[in-house]
Amino acid sequence: MMLDPSPGKHLFGVVGYPLQQSLSPLIHNWGFSAHQLPCTYLAWSIEPQYLPHFSVALRTLPISGVSVTIPHKKHIMPYLDRLTHTSVRIGAVNTLYWQEGEIWGENTDITGFVAPLLSRAKNIFSALVLGAGGAAQTCLEGFRRMEIGDIWVSSRNKSKAQAFAVGHGIRYVPWNRLEEMSADLLVNATPMGMKGQSETTLPFTPEPHRFPLVYDLVYNPVQTKLLREAEEAGCSTINGLSMFITQATEQFRIWTGEDLPHEDLASMLQEHLTSN
């Protein structure tokens, strides 16, 4: 086990705002129980203005590791001692851990994003990303690793998407012209379709001759409206649960040195999501 900085520190948690829909406590507490580890994982709903206070608590309370989610993935970085190469490239962290008395920031989202694409990589040469935030930046790093060079970005926020495209050397397409686009892969990197939010839909239905593969990073619900419409049209689809499980599994390994059984975890989450 890697429960730094001292043997007595067995407290973990997720920090974000809001956290009503987070499944991280369910996953990690399930993992601690499966491995019979004396650890517990909590949810810390921290409003942005109180993030500096949380950074103090992180160093004074017996906290061994933290998952970081929106809107703190970028803003927490200045409060850390070290950043991994991956987190610097992405410009965001989702995992905090102790190493030799210092707090490190890592990003396991990239591992989760790429994992379900690897078996299909030979057929992906172009991609359209919906969204221009941290999740979209993770997608770009994944495309770089997969050597996908033909990339477009679109967002309902025109100025943000244009700035994102210029800053990353990719192409921008207006939201109201998406029906003219086609690519090997369509990725939804926005909260569109997430449980508890209004179901904003695309101005078009993905079709297999335009988007053979549709990947929605939203995992709750597992079957979003986007994926449902894409499947009905004949597209292949990937839901966000695989990414979520893989990134959480990597977090668990960083913190404890132990692995989580992927199939058992997926079954448990599927059952939880369908019953709630």
Q: Which positions are annotated as active-site residues?
A: 73
How far is 134 from 91, CA to CA, in rounded Å? 8
Do residues 191 and 218 lie in contact, with contact meaning Cβ atoms separated by under 8 Å? yes
Chain mean position to CA 199:
20
- The one-letter amino acid at 169: G
CB-based burial, 226-265: b 16+ in 10 Å, e otherwise: bbebbeeeebebbbbbbbbbbbbbbbbebbbeeebeeeeb
- The conformation of residue 220, written as its DSSP 8-state character, comes to S
Q: Which two tokens stand for residue 180?
A: 């003219």
Task: State both tokens at 171.
Answer: 């192409």
- Distance between CA atoms of 188 and 160, rounded to whole angstroms? 16
Query: Is the CB of residue 237 less than 8 Å from the CB of residue 214?
Result: yes
d(CA 57, CA 210): 49
- Pairing mode of beta strands 126-130, 150-154: parallel
